[in-house]
Protein backbone atom coordinates (compact mmCIF):
# COMPACT_ATOMS: atom_id res chain seq x y z
CA UNK A 1 0.00 0.00 0.00
CA UNK A 2 2.81 2.34 0.91
CA UNK A 3 4.41 2.25 -2.53
CA UNK A 4 1.24 3.29 -4.34
CA UNK A 5 1.46 7.11 -3.92
CA UNK A 6 5.09 7.00 -5.01
CA UNK A 7 4.19 5.04 -8.09
CA UNK A 8 1.46 7.55 -8.90
CA UNK A 9 3.70 10.57 -8.62
CA UNK A 10 6.36 8.93 -10.81
CA UNK A 11 3.82 8.13 -13.50
CA UNK A 12 2.51 11.67 -13.39
CA UNK A 13 5.97 13.18 -13.79
CA UNK A 14 6.68 10.93 -16.75
CA UNK A 15 3.38 11.64 -18.50
CA UNK A 16 3.86 15.40 -17.91
CA UNK A 17 7.07 15.24 -19.83
CA UNK A 18 5.67 13.16 -22.66
CA UNK A 19 3.28 15.84 -23.89
CA UNK A 20 5.92 18.57 -24.16
CA UNK A 21 7.40 18.98 -27.67
CA UNK A 22 11.16 18.62 -27.65
CA UNK A 23 11.52 22.08 -29.25
CA UNK A 24 9.85 23.58 -26.16
CA UNK A 25 12.26 21.79 -23.82
CA UNK A 26 15.27 23.01 -25.80
CA UNK A 27 13.86 26.54 -25.93
CA UNK A 28 13.32 26.55 -22.14
CA UNK A 29 16.97 25.57 -21.58
CA UNK A 30 18.13 28.37 -23.86
CA UNK A 31 15.93 30.90 -22.09
CA UNK A 32 17.06 29.69 -18.64
CA UNK A 33 20.68 30.21 -19.75
CA UNK A 34 19.74 33.58 -21.30
CA UNK A 35 21.21 32.49 -24.59
CA UNK A 36 20.19 33.97 -27.91
CA UNK A 37 18.69 31.50 -30.39
CA UNK A 38 18.38 33.49 -33.59
CA UNK A 39 18.35 31.62 -36.89
CA UNK A 40 22.12 31.95 -37.27
CA UNK A 41 23.00 30.91 -33.71
CA UNK A 42 24.32 27.45 -32.90
CA UNK A 43 22.27 25.70 -30.20
CA UNK A 44 24.05 22.32 -30.06
CA UNK A 45 25.00 22.74 -26.38
CA UNK A 46 21.32 22.73 -25.44
CA UNK A 47 20.31 19.59 -27.31
CA UNK A 48 20.64 16.32 -25.40
CA UNK A 49 21.59 13.00 -27.00
CA UNK A 50 18.64 11.54 -28.92
CA UNK A 51 16.73 14.82 -29.06
CA UNK A 52 17.74 15.71 -32.61
CA UNK A 53 15.82 12.63 -33.84
CA UNK A 54 12.76 13.77 -31.89
CA UNK A 55 13.17 17.27 -33.32
CA UNK A 56 13.23 15.74 -36.80
CA UNK A 57 9.89 14.01 -36.13
CA UNK A 58 8.46 17.27 -34.80
CA UNK A 59 9.58 19.31 -37.84
CA UNK A 60 8.23 16.59 -40.17
CA UNK A 61 4.85 16.77 -38.43
CA UNK A 62 4.70 20.58 -38.69
CA UNK A 63 5.91 20.46 -42.32
CA UNK A 64 3.09 18.05 -43.11
CA UNK A 65 0.75 20.68 -41.67
CA UNK A 66 2.21 23.27 -44.07
CA UNK A 67 1.64 20.95 -47.05
CA UNK A 68 -1.92 20.26 -45.85
CA UNK A 69 -2.57 24.00 -45.56
CA UNK A 70 -1.23 24.46 -49.08
CA UNK A 71 -3.98 22.00 -50.15
CA UNK A 72 -1.52 19.47 -51.55
CA UNK A 73 -2.85 15.91 -51.66
CA UNK A 74 0.16 14.21 -50.10
CA UNK A 75 -1.87 11.00 -49.66
CA UNK A 76 -2.73 10.76 -53.37
CA UNK A 77 0.29 12.49 -54.94
CA UNK A 78 3.23 10.08 -54.85
CA UNK A 79 5.68 12.94 -55.49
CA UNK A 80 4.86 14.65 -52.22
CA UNK A 81 4.11 11.57 -50.10
CA UNK A 82 7.42 11.84 -48.22
CA UNK A 83 8.15 15.51 -48.78
CA UNK A 84 7.50 16.50 -45.15
CA UNK A 85 10.12 14.01 -43.94
CA UNK A 86 12.57 14.94 -46.70
CA UNK A 87 12.31 18.66 -45.96
CA UNK A 88 12.70 18.07 -42.21
CA UNK A 89 15.83 16.00 -42.82
CA UNK A 90 17.21 18.53 -45.28
CA UNK A 91 16.78 21.40 -42.80
CA UNK A 92 18.05 19.69 -39.66
CA UNK A 93 20.68 17.29 -40.98
CA UNK A 94 21.92 19.03 -44.10
CA UNK A 95 21.48 22.69 -44.99
CA UNK A 96 20.97 24.01 -41.44
CA UNK A 97 23.03 21.45 -39.53
CA UNK A 98 25.39 24.26 -38.50
CA UNK A 99 22.72 25.26 -35.96
CA UNK A 100 22.36 21.81 -34.42
CA UNK A 101 25.80 20.23 -34.32
CA UNK A 102 28.90 21.33 -32.45
CA UNK A 103 31.64 23.07 -34.41
CA UNK A 104 34.28 21.07 -36.26
CA UNK A 105 37.28 20.08 -34.16
CA UNK A 106 40.22 21.98 -35.54
CA UNK A 107 43.73 21.18 -34.46
CA UNK A 108 45.85 24.29 -34.17
CA UNK A 109 49.59 24.14 -34.46
CA UNK A 110 52.09 26.75 -33.34
CA UNK A 111 53.62 28.71 -36.19
CA UNK A 112 56.90 26.77 -36.12
CA UNK A 113 58.08 28.13 -39.48
CA UNK A 114 57.42 31.68 -38.24
CA UNK A 115 55.41 32.46 -41.36
CA UNK A 116 54.79 36.15 -41.68
CA UNK A 117 53.71 36.56 -45.29
CA UNK A 118 50.21 37.21 -46.51
CA UNK A 119 48.35 33.95 -46.99
CA UNK A 120 45.18 33.70 -49.06
CA UNK A 121 42.70 30.84 -48.99
CA UNK A 122 39.98 30.61 -51.61
CA UNK A 123 37.76 30.56 -53.38
CA UNK A 124 35.81 28.45 -50.92
CA UNK A 125 32.28 27.68 -52.13
CA UNK A 126 29.72 28.74 -49.55
CA UNK A 127 26.13 27.54 -49.37
CA UNK A 128 23.44 28.88 -47.11
CA UNK A 129 19.89 30.20 -47.15
CA UNK A 130 18.70 33.65 -46.23
CA UNK A 131 16.92 34.06 -42.91
CA UNK A 132 14.25 36.16 -44.60
CA UNK A 133 12.94 33.68 -47.18
CA UNK A 134 14.84 30.42 -46.61
CA UNK A 135 15.99 30.73 -50.23
CA UNK A 136 19.49 29.54 -51.17
CA UNK A 137 22.48 31.84 -50.92
CA UNK A 138 25.41 30.43 -52.88
CA UNK A 139 28.74 32.03 -53.48
CA UNK A 140 32.45 32.23 -52.89
CA UNK A 141 34.66 33.22 -50.04
CA UNK A 142 38.28 34.37 -49.82
CA UNK A 143 40.21 34.58 -46.59
CA UNK A 144 43.42 36.54 -46.11
CA UNK A 145 45.59 35.89 -43.08
CA UNK A 146 48.55 37.89 -41.93
CA UNK A 147 50.27 35.64 -39.40
CA UNK A 148 52.79 36.46 -36.70
CA UNK A 149 55.03 34.19 -34.55
CA UNK A 150 52.19 33.55 -32.13
CA UNK A 151 49.57 32.78 -34.78
CA UNK A 152 48.20 29.25 -34.74
CA UNK A 153 48.38 27.43 -38.03
CA UNK A 154 45.41 25.38 -39.21
CA UNK A 155 45.18 23.23 -42.33
CA UNK A 156 43.79 24.87 -45.47
CA UNK A 157 40.77 22.56 -45.62
CA UNK A 158 39.83 23.59 -42.07
CA UNK A 159 38.88 27.09 -43.23
CA UNK A 160 36.30 25.47 -45.50
CA UNK A 161 34.95 23.39 -42.61
CA UNK A 162 34.62 26.44 -40.36
CA UNK A 163 32.86 28.32 -43.18
CA UNK A 164 30.53 25.38 -43.78
CA UNK A 165 29.56 25.31 -40.10
CA UNK A 166 28.80 29.05 -40.01
CA UNK A 167 26.98 29.03 -43.37
CA UNK A 168 24.97 25.92 -42.50
CA UNK A 169 22.33 28.06 -40.80
CA UNK A 170 19.70 30.45 -42.07
CA UNK A 171 21.98 33.44 -42.54
CA UNK A 172 22.27 37.10 -43.34
CA UNK A 173 25.42 37.54 -45.42
CA UNK A 174 26.69 40.58 -43.52
CA UNK A 175 26.28 38.76 -40.20
CA UNK A 176 27.77 35.52 -41.57
CA UNK A 177 31.07 37.17 -42.52
CA UNK A 178 31.38 38.70 -39.05
CA UNK A 179 30.59 35.38 -37.32
CA UNK A 180 33.17 33.63 -39.47
CA UNK A 181 35.79 36.33 -38.92
CA UNK A 182 35.27 36.06 -35.14
CA UNK A 183 35.68 32.29 -35.28
CA UNK A 184 38.86 32.34 -37.42
CA UNK A 185 40.26 35.15 -35.27
CA UNK A 186 39.66 33.07 -32.13
CA UNK A 187 41.22 29.90 -33.62
CA UNK A 188 44.29 31.41 -35.28
CA UNK A 189 44.96 34.79 -33.60
CA UNK A 190 46.62 36.44 -36.61
CA UNK A 191 47.92 40.01 -36.90
CA UNK A 192 45.35 40.61 -39.57
CA UNK A 193 42.36 38.92 -41.08
CA UNK A 194 40.48 39.76 -44.26
CA UNK A 195 37.34 38.13 -45.59
CA UNK A 196 35.50 38.72 -48.83
CA UNK A 197 32.27 36.92 -49.63
CA UNK A 198 30.45 37.22 -52.92
CA UNK A 199 27.13 35.42 -53.20
CA UNK A 200 23.98 35.13 -55.27
CA UNK A 201 20.82 35.42 -53.24
CA UNK A 202 18.16 33.29 -54.87
CA UNK A 203 15.41 35.22 -53.12
CA UNK A 204 16.32 37.93 -55.64
CA UNK A 205 16.65 35.56 -58.60
CA UNK A 206 13.64 33.27 -58.06
CA UNK A 207 11.25 35.82 -56.64
CA UNK A 208 11.22 39.57 -55.89
CA UNK A 209 13.11 41.51 -58.56
CA UNK A 210 14.01 38.23 -60.39
CA UNK A 211 17.49 39.44 -61.19
CA UNK A 212 19.77 36.48 -61.93
CA UNK A 213 22.93 38.55 -62.05
CA UNK A 214 22.88 40.51 -58.85
CA UNK A 215 25.44 39.49 -56.32
CA UNK A 216 26.13 40.74 -52.87
CA UNK A 217 29.70 41.35 -51.79
CA UNK A 218 30.73 41.76 -48.18
CA UNK A 219 34.12 42.21 -46.65
CA UNK A 220 35.55 42.24 -43.16
CA UNK A 221 39.00 43.66 -42.45
CA UNK A 222 40.69 43.23 -39.10
CA UNK A 223 44.03 44.18 -37.57
CA UNK A 224 46.78 45.10 -40.04
CA UNK A 225 44.35 44.90 -42.97
CA UNK A 226 42.56 47.89 -41.46
CA UNK A 227 45.70 49.93 -40.85
CA UNK A 228 47.76 49.03 -43.91
CA UNK A 229 46.23 50.27 -47.17
CA UNK A 230 48.87 48.53 -49.29
CA UNK A 231 48.29 45.17 -47.67
CA UNK A 232 44.55 45.56 -48.18
CA UNK A 233 45.13 46.44 -51.86
CA UNK A 234 47.47 43.46 -52.27
CA UNK A 235 44.84 41.10 -50.88
CA UNK A 236 42.04 42.52 -53.01
CA UNK A 237 44.23 42.43 -56.14
CA UNK A 238 45.18 38.78 -55.56
CA UNK A 239 41.65 37.42 -55.25
CA UNK A 240 40.54 36.55 -58.79
CA UNK A 241 36.94 37.73 -58.75
CA UNK A 242 34.97 37.88 -61.97
CA UNK A 243 33.75 41.36 -62.64
Q: What minimum distance in Å lies between the beta carbon of 170 and Zn ion?
A: 10
Number of chain residues interacting with Zn ion (CB under 5 A): 4
Does 132 participate in binding Zn ion (rule CB under 5 A)? yes
Q: How far apart are CA 226 and CA 193, in angstroms?
A: 9
Residues in the chain: 243
Q: Which is nearer to Zn ion, 22 or 130 (CB)?
A: 130
Q: Which is nearer to Zn ion, 132 or 227 (CB)?
A: 132
State how beta strands 170-171 and 119-130 pair. Answer: parallel
Buried b (16+ CB within 10 A) or exposed e, 42-57: bbeebbeeebbebbbe
Q: Kindly tell me which residue out of 25, 27, 89, 133 binds Zn ion, with binding defined by CB under 5 A.
A: 133
Q: How far apart are CA 163 and CA 44, in angstroms?
A: 17
Stretch that binds Zn ion, among 1-9, 113-121, 125-133, 228-236 (CB under 5 A): 125-133
- Distant-in-sequence, close-in-space partners of 233: CB < 8 Å, separation ≥ 6: none
Stretch that binds Zn ion, among 22-30, 123-131, 160-168, 172-180 (CB under 5 A): 123-131
Q: Kindly tell me which residue out of 56, 88, 121, 130 binds Zn ion, with binding defined by CB under 5 A.
A: 130
Residue 114 CB neighbours (<10 A):
11
Q: What minimum distance in Å lies between the beta carbon of 137 and Zn ion?
A: 8
Stretch that binds Zn ion, among 74-82, 149-157, 160-168, 199-207 (CB under 5 A): 199-207
The contact mask relative to Zn ion for 75-114 (x = CB under 5 A, - = no) is ----------------------------------------
The contact mask relative to Zn ion for 31-60 (x = CB under 5 A, - = no) is ------------------------------
Stretch that binds Zn ion, among 90-98, 102-110, 122-130, 191-199 (CB under 5 A): 122-130
- Distant-in-sequence, close-in-space partners of 176: CB < 8 Å, separation ≥ 6: 40, 128, 166, 167, 197
Decide: residue 144, CB within 10 A, 0-12 exposed, 13-18 middle, 19+ buried: buried
The answer, yes or no, to whether the previous bond of 231 is cis (omega within 30 of 0) is no
Site residues, Zn ion (CB under 5 A): 130, 132-133, 203
Amino acid sequence: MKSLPELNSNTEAASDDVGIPVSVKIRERLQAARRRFNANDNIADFIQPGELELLLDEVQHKMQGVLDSMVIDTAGDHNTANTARRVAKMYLNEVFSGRYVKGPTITEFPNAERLNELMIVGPITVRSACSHHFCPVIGKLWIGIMPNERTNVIGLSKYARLAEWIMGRPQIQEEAVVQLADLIQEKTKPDGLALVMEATHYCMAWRGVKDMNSKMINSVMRGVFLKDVNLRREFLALIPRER
